[in-house]
Structure 1
Amino acid sequence: MRDFIIKFAQTIAQIVTAPMLILFFLSKNKEVIILDVRRWIKIVNNTNESSPIWVNLLYLLSIYSEFRNLYYYRIKQGDSIGFFLTQGFRIFYKQCPSLFIDCNNIGSGLFIQHGFSTIISAESIGENCWINQQVTIGYTTNGRPIIGNNVTISAGAKVVGKLSIDDNVKVGANAVVVKNVPNNCVVVGVPAYIVKRDGVKVKEQLI
């Protein structure tokens, strides 16, 4: 009975959210949105992986306000019509209010686990990145970060200034990154330093 009620509630929520498909069909970024949907579904509910994309899209839009932020970002990106359309939809389909996304380019598959008190202001972000809650990715007078592919930025971390985080990097919880991070590293601490490089434990300062 409980499972039936949950499923029924989810179905109603998806029906209510259905008008948001208009944005998808008008978007120039359909392919990227589809890749976003596939990654999110794989992470949050892999039992739905075989469902049609539009069903999974509605599922995510109806449940995850963080996904709505990313969705609106995709719709607006490089599209003035999309920008104006999203303004109206945002009145009825709310975003996560404490999640801010300001980035010139974000690769497909960005997963935002919790959007609480999170600022994403980078020059660019690669594919299949993962950002947790209370993260600040921000700028100084020198510029903003460039983040590579398959980067995880854990809860409470700060990545600030003109720097690059290369591919396959994990930034530990509450770390403060103010210098470049090379490929295949795990960094922790304040200021951040490398504790693992290419799968081998080390203790190295960032340069």
Structure 2
Amino acid sequence: MKPNQLLTHAFKKLLLWRLYNRYVIANAVIQADIKQTLQVRGSQVQYATIDKQFYHAMIYYQDYAYIFFWRINKLGCRWRYLFMNDMPCKLFRSTEIAGGLMCYHPFATVINAKSIGRNFQFRNGLTVGNKGNDNSQLPIIGNDVSVGANVVIIGAITIGDNVTIGAGSVVVKNVPSNCIIAGNPAHIIRRQDEA
């Protein structure tokens, strides 16, 4: 490594140690995000200690780094660029999101929901928002929901638990638990308990 790279690497390690001690050790939600990211990605680091998991996720998954800085309300932190490039993604602070949040390439994503449950996975181009610019008309999304690319979820609707939403879907009506939906407008393709 060149001297500048060594300095940057040493600074990153020091910064990660400080971030870990300040935000990760006692935060079960952030720990769930880390574990979900590594498990879904199939990383062998998922079996290591939580500090090693955190370091790995921050260094190798810039989409996780984005989630981490959002969780700690530090998206404006001047050091975040050591871990991620500028990511055009907006998660509204008013959205309550349980642990296990995981994204693949969160580009062109806007999430403004009333609440989102555990283990929410999403891909690029997601729009979750209000209807008629009325923030009382926001979606509620359950646990273990996986959303494909370029999906739109709008209005005061409820999406149940264990739902998979296919790419390009437009969801404007309530969705029951345990199903796969797709289309414009989205409709149930299959119930999860069907063979």
TM-score, normalised with respect to structure 2: 0.83
| In structure 1, distance between residues paired with 2:9 and 2:32 | 20
**Hey, what does 1:24 align to over in structure 2?**
20
Offset of residue 61 of structure 1 = 0.9
Instruction: Quickly say closer, same or farther: Cα 1:177–1:12, change in 2 above 3 A.
Output: farther
Residue 144 of structure 2, aligned match among 127, 146, 150: 150
- Post-superposition shift, 1:172? 0.8
Distance 1:15 1:31, change over 3 A: farther
Secondary structure of the corresponding residue to residue 61 of structure 1: helix
Q: Distance in 1 between matches of 2:97 and 2:9?
A: 26
Q: Cα deviation per residue 1:120-158 (whole Å; 9 max; x = unaligned)?
A: 221111001110111111222252111000001111111
Structure 1 match to 2:105? 114
Matches within 5 A, 1:130-145: 130-140=121-131, 141=134, 142-145=136-139
Mapped partners of 1:166, 1:13: distance in 2: 45
What's the C-alpha RMSD, in Å, of the aligned pairs?
2.6
Match of 1:204 in 2: none
Mapping of residues 90-109 of structure 1, within 5 Å: 90=80, 92-94=82-84, 96-102=86-92, 103-109=94-100
Judge conservation of contact 1:33–1:74 (CA < 8 Å) in 2: yes
CA deviation digits over 1:33-84, x for unaligned, max 9?
Answer: 11111111112243212222111211111122211121012212xxxxxx5x
Does the 8 Å CA contact 2:153/2:171 hold for their aligned counterparts? yes
State the 1:91 CA deviation: 5.2
Which range moved further: 99-108 or 24-33?
Answer: 24-33
Structure-2 change in CA distance of 1:26 and 1:174 (3 Å): same
2:70 partner letter: Y
Please, what TM-score do these two structures have when normalized by structure 1? 0.78
| 1:123 aligns with one of 114, 117, 122 | 114
Structure 2 residue matching 1:49: 3-state secondary structure: helix
Structure 1 unaligned regions, length at least 5:
6-10, 77-82, 202-207
Contact (CA 8 Å) 2:97, 2:115: kept in 1 or not?
yes
Contact in 1 for aligned 2:12/2:82 (Cα 8 Å): no
**CA distance change for structure 1 residues 199 and 90 in 2, over 3 Å: closer, same or farther?**
same
| Residues 39, 96 of structure 1: alpha-carbon distance in 2 compared, 3 angstrom cutoff | farther
Q: Percent identity of the aligned residues?
A: 28
Letter in 2 for 1:157: V
Q: CA deviation at 1:199?
A: 2.9
Q: How many residue pairs are counted as aligned between the two chains? A: 185
